[in-house]
Amino acid sequence: MKPISKVSIFIFLFGGTLIWPNSFAGAFAPFGKIAGYAGALYSFMQLGGGAGLGWLSSFLPSSSPVAMAIILITAPALAWLCFEKIVQRAS
Predicted pLDDT at 51: 92
Q: With 0.75 as the threshold, say if the pTM is over it.
A: no
Looking at every residue in the chain, the average pLDDT score rounds to 83
Predicted pLDDT at 13: 85
What's at 65, amino acid-wise? P
What single string gives the DSSP state of each residue in 47-66?
Answer: HHHHHHHHHHHTTS-SS-TH
What's at 24, amino acid-wise? F
Taking only the tens place, the pLDDT of each residue in 26-49 is 878 888 888 888 888 888 888 898
Percent of the chain with pLDDT over 70: 95
CA dihedral 5, 11, 16, 18 (to 10 degrees): 170
User: What size, in residues, is the chain?
Assistant: 91
- Cβ atoms 88, 81 nearer than 8 A: no
Rounded CA-CA distance 36/43 in Å is 11
Higher-pLDDT residue of 64 and 50 is 50
